[in-house]
Structure 1
Amino acid sequence: MTSPTPQAPVRRPTAADGFVVVDKPAGWTSHDVVGRMRRLAGTRKVGHAGTLDPMATGVLVLGIGKATRLLTYVVGADKDYDATIRLGVATTTDDAEGEVASVADPGAVGQVDRAALDAAIADLTGDILQVPTSVSAIKVDGKRAYALVRAGEEVALQARPVTVSRFEVLDVRTATATVPVVDVDVRVTVSSGTYVRALARDLGAALGTGGHLTALRRTRVGGYDLAGARTLEQLEAQADADGTLATLPTADAARAIFPVRELDEAEVRALGYGQWVEPSGRDEVVAALSPSGILVALLEDTRRRGENLAKPVLVLAPAG
């Protein structure tokens, strides 16, 4: 008697183009989440807007299908985080996943008072120059910095301008983690490219204690926050119940990123062919929607042959 032929897993119906906002669990890489979403969405065309470290949790914006083309605009948005910074211990990765690099004298940790903490935080708020953490994905001579560090090489990254528009202390408490430490719960709002781990490192350096991140939760990316996020378990349950993964339609996704311009039918046809239309009158990219509410294109005002016009920088509904 022959063994039965193994059955290939049933492929789910392909989800509609759109966004899915995931509440990423701890221990998962952003790539892990994309892999799970490809199975749930029934397509390989899935991308994310900004990596979260495995230790971190919270908002991870994913694009499905044609909506992946909008992700580049989400990546550059500002972000909110809740974090815990541990003063008294520095690590090789500036977070709890690294090896201990140095331990402060207990006396130095005990001398950290609220006035000194507030002053150091004030110096790290606003427009600052930040040296990215050495285990970042930034490329050095064509290789990722974290790969060079893991190979035992010294990595010296250049400082770059970032904006920390909020750096708020929520709680301060003493603790013991084999050595005396001070844990500081903070809430920050930062520009794209800011490393919260580096803020922890620099705060510890300024206070003479060393510091690293022990917890990080992203609560907002641009117009997307935890209120609209779902866990992987919730997403799977919904897809199982309804047969297809539900997505935030591209038009609704665009409304959370861009100002909206309503088009008439003639403009829809013109943009479908890649033609330019009358200007939107704004200094930023706008989302152009058809009379039926479909996202047709992203537009940007510019001058051509002495005339102000809106050119399509991305067409999502070509003529056909």
Structure 2
Amino acid sequence: MPTGGMLLVDKPAGMTSHDVVSRTRKARGTRKVGHAGTLDPMATGLLVVGVDEATRLLTFIVGADKTYTATILLGATTDTDDADGEIVERAPEHAIAGVTEAAISEGIAALTGAISQVPTTVSAIKVNGRRAYDLAREGVEVELQARNVVVSRFEVTARRRETDRIELDVVVDCSSGTYIRALARDLGAALGVGGHLSALRRTRVGPFAVTDAVQLDDLAEAELMSPADVGTIVLGAIEVSTEEALNLRQGKRLAGASARLPATPAAAIDPEGRLIGVVERRGDDVKSVMNLPTAAFV
């Protein structure tokens, strides 16, 4: 039977996503571990972790929409756009007092929907082959290009005012590649008082929720989601016969089978409930675009 599967992990604050991968490798006794979508050390919440051959499914998860809860602090700008950075500018109290609820609502509305966003400088985006955060730490001025993202929900759930700050608790539904730190930065800039992120938690990645995640201390005993279950949840499934499964693993097309696809791509599941691979429509046919290793079925 195939080995490996998927884990939903609730990452604590103060750890990198790579730290979680390292802990998982040790807990599960394998080097083949990866994750779908980096969380900053400050952030907590859902990290989707693949173990052994299930790591090959991560590419179909990393681009999924996500949900975050966050706290935006208006009134101060930091060099990282979050609370881990150094404060580089504070707004005077009279400017903060002048920020109206209507202005906040208008600023949020302008950052909702299909928007063009310049990623935060301290990010994992590569510039000439190097991570932007590495260049920033070396004092190299990094100029990142704006990218199109979709913020389908940007909702304020609580507001707190003090003389030197305004804090907003928010919920954000967004497309992959959206930087919540940049939303905080841009909202603060639009209001003329600066802003940064003081708390961040990822609660959803595609169909997976943090309420189903395990804690770090439970990594060794946690039950893995099978590759077949993950593929079915993420992509939808096409059931194939034993002969069709063999043909797919050999690179052959399933002639005239495209009408059976629930979507494209889709997960191909054999009669024993195992994930053969991921398939796509090719005209009227179905062709494999990713197969699990044959050894996994021996």
Q: TM-score range by the shorter chain?
A: over 0.9
- Establish whether residue 137 from structure 1 lines up as the match of residue 121 from structure 2: no
Task: Give the letter for the 1:193 counterpart.
Answer: G
The Cα shift of 1:43 comes to 0.3
Tell me how far apart the structure 1 counterparts of residues 77 and 139 of structure 2 sit (CA, whole Å): 18
Tell me how far apart the structure 2 counterparts of residues 106 and 255 of structure 1 sit (CA, whole Å): 54
Is contact 1:133-1:197 (8 Å) kept? Answer: yes
State the percentage of identical aligned residues. Answer: 52
- Establish whether residue 285 from structure 1 lines up as the match of residue 265 from structure 2: yes
Give the paired residue count: 292
Which blocks of at least 5 consecutive residues in structure 1 are unaligned?
1-14, 240-244
- Establish whether residue 159 from structure 1 lines up as the match of residue 135 from structure 2: no
- State the secondary structure of the residue aligned to 2:185: helix
Q: 1:212 aligns with which of 190, 196, 215?
A: 196
List per-residue Cα deviations over 1:128-163 (Å, max 9, x = no partner): 000000011111122211111111121111101001
- Counterpart residue number, 1:198: 182
- State the secondary structure of the residue aligned to 2:234: coil
When the two chains are superposed, the root-mean-square deviation of aligned CA atoms in Å is 1.5
- Establish whether residue 309 from structure 1 lines up as the match of residue 288 from structure 2: no
Tell me how far apart the structure 1 counterparts of residues 62 and 180 of structure 2 sit (CA, whole Å): 16
- Counterpart residue number, 2:136: 149
Is contact 2:235-2:263 (8 Å) kept? Answer: no
Tell me how far apart the structure 2 counterparts of residues 89 and 24 of structure 1 sit (CA, whole Å): 27
Q: 1:263 aligns with which of 240, 265, 278?
A: 240
Structure 1 segment 102-251 matched on structure 2, within 5 A: 102-175=89-162, 180-236=164-220, 239=221, 246-251=223-228
Tell me how far apart the structure 2 counterparts of residues 126 and 66 of structure 1 sit (CA, whole Å): 36
Which blocks of at least 5 consecutive residues in structure 2 are unaligned?
none
Indicate the structure (1 or 2) with the bigger Cα radius of gyration: 1
Q: Which runs of 4+ in 1 moved over 4 A?
A: none
The Cα shift of 1:75 comes to 0.5
The Cα shift of 1:283 comes to 5.3
List per-residue Cα deviations over 1:240-273 (Å, max 9, x = no partner): xxxxx53111111112211111112221121121
Tell me how far apart the structure 2 counterparts of residues 302 and 122 of structure 1 sit (CA, whole Å): 41
- State the secondary structure of the residue aligned to 1:257: helix
- What TM-score comes out, normalization by structure 2 length? 0.94
- State the secondary structure of the residue aligned to 2:281: strand
Task: Give the letter for the 2:204 counterpart.
Answer: R
The Cα shift of 1:317 comes to 5.4
- Counterpart residue number, 1:28: 15
Is contact 2:5-2:51 (8 Å) kept? Answer: yes
Is contact 1:16-1:246 (8 Å) kept? Answer: no
The Cα shift of 1:16 comes to 3.5
List per-residue Cα deviations over 1:148-207 (Å, max 9, x = no partner): 11111211111010010110100010136xxx1000000001111110000000010111
- State the secondary structure of the residue aligned to 1:256: helix
List per-residue Cα deviations over 1:90-149 (Å, max 9, x = no partner): 100000000111111211111222211111101000110000000111111222111111
- Counterpart residue number, 2:25: 38
